[in-house]
Chain A
Amino acid sequence: MNAPHLTRRDFTAGLGGIVLAFSLMPDALTQQPPRLPGSLNNNRLLSAWLAINADGTATIFTGKVELGQGILTALCQIAAEELDLPLARVKIISGDTGRTPNEGQTAGSLSVQNSGTALRLAGAEVRSILLDLAAKKLGVAADNLKVADGTIAAADGRKVTYGELAREADLKREATGKVAPKPPAQHRVVGQSSPRVDLPAKVTGGAAFATASTCCRAGTWPTPSGQVLHAREDRRASSATAIRSRLTTYRGSASPAT
């Protein structure tokens, strides 16, 4: 065995030295916004995640899509819980690139972790914004108000609903992530089995799958890069060849906006 003999000292000396680098620069000086949990970090506006409607419902938005894992139901439950709304009054918009936050892919069992966390914190924060508005309106401290089913009530019985506050609630602001969500012991919707919100459409042949989306109606769609997709209506096509040519037409029809 003629392996070269090399001590640790020889090895270190041979390197000539070791450079260690580290930073004492505080976050504030690097001008990075504070890190927010889950997908809230990359989609920081409260309005990106939910809207309170004049009819007392809430619309929530997610970049995650339903694959049969039940994510739309789970996210509705999370938002309903934090907003103190009945599940039936929470509507969800999913995977509409024009309206929903960009959350990348739906994969890796990360949807509740990332989208759920964002909706949980955004829901808690919007609830507190609505409480503050109600407190001002009713002339009492927010701490003395109670919320049930989207109605905020003072101790003397006066009430104001989410729907009535919808117009005043400015959600076009960055989430702080600082309003604590409900502790699990207070959960009434989360943790219960809820009927899947996507099943009625699936058992009746409704629009539940990407394959039902129509690409070839006459019309134009703006793309993120500022181009416009033009498509022509060709509903008569029905053979396999025609279908292929329709898809080709669609793919090949991107042209710069004029």
Chain B
Amino acid sequence: MLSRDAPLLYVLRNDLELNAAKFGCGLAQCGACTVLVDGVAIRSCVMPVSQVAQSEVTTLEGLGTIAKLHPLQQAFIDEQAAQCGYCTNGMIMTAKALLDRNPRPTEAQVRDGLAGNLCRCGTHNRIVRAVLRAARANGRI
């Protein structure tokens, strides 16, 4: 039996074995656990699973696969926008929600949109370039 107040992140990782969302701080402060709930980027480490029971939850696994990458995933590879890659899930999912709201963001809007996602390797500039690249790629589709 699932506990109603189990964090969505725990259910994703431990029960569904969807490991893209990461446990970073566990306090909704770093963004590594970001998933989309009905298209909105949320912190799954503090979201009780009972609150998303009627919602559509999208994880990074749902965006694309290695064989069929989502434009954002492709752009992160093209820009080599990761070192350790622990923040990458949150960066891509937050960027996905951002691009869905605003398909052609300015660089300032990308920086602002990702401000709540922490990366300690120092890959920030590549990540911003990757999101802008994906926005351009989306524009062509």
Interface residues of A (CB under 8 A from B): 67-70, 195-196, 198-209, 211-212, 214, 235-240, 243
Task: List the B side residues contacting A199 at CB < 8 Å.
Answer: 76-77, 80, 82, 85
Given known A-B contacts A243-B10, A243-B14, A203 and B88 have beta carbons under 8 A apart: yes
Closest B residue, CB atoms, query A196: B80
Cβ-defined contact, A238 with B69, below 8 A: no
Report the minimum CB–CB distance from A68 to chain B (whole Å). 3
Cβ-defined contact, A238 with B82, below 8 A: no
Partner of B82, one of A68, A206, A243: A68
Task: List the B side residues contacting A206 at CB < 8 Å.
Answer: 66
In Å, the complex CA distance between A237 and B22 comes to: 18
Given known A-B contacts A208-B85, A212-B19, A203 and B73 have beta carbons under 8 A apart: yes
In Å, the complex CA distance between A73 and B21 comes to: 24
Closest A residue, CB atoms, query B84: A68
Asked if B64 lies at the interface with its beta carbon under 8 angstroms from chain A, I say: yes
In Å, the complex CA distance between A201 and B6 comes to: 27
Asked if B11 lies at the interface with its beta carbon under 8 angstroms from chain A, I say: yes
Report the minimum CB–CB distance from B36 to chain A (whole Å). 13
Asked if B2 lies at the interface with its beta carbon under 8 angstroms from chain A, I say: yes
14 contacts between A and B (CB under 8 A): A69-B83, A198-B85, A199-B76, A199-B77, A202-B82, A202-B88, A203-B69, A203-B73, A204-B20, A204-B66, A205-B20, A205-B89, A236-B1, A240-B6
Cβ-defined contact, A238 with B11, below 8 A: yes
Task: List the A side residues contacting B80 at CB < 8 Å.
Answer: 195-196, 199
Task: List the A side residues contacting B85 at CB < 8 Å.
Answer: 68, 198-199, 202-203, 208-209
Cβ-defined contact, B1 with A204, below 8 A: no
Task: List the B side residues contacting A203 at CB < 8 Å.
Answer: 60, 69, 73, 76-77, 82, 85, 88, 92
Cβ-defined contact, A200 with B59, below 8 A: no
Cβ-defined contact, B2 with A238, below 8 A: yes
Cβ-defined contact, A205 with B60, below 8 A: yes
Asked if B27 lies at the interface with its beta carbon under 8 angstroms from chain A, I say: no
In Å, the complex CA distance between A26 and B27 comes to: 63
In Å, the complex CA distance between A199 and B18 comes to: 18
Cβ-defined contact, A205 with B19, below 8 A: yes
Report the minimum CB–CB distance from B88 to chain A (whole Å). 5
List of 9 A-B pairs having minimum Cβ-Cβ separation, nearest first: A205-B20, A68-B84, A202-B85, A68-B83, A212-B19, A205-B60, A239-B3, A203-B73, A238-B6
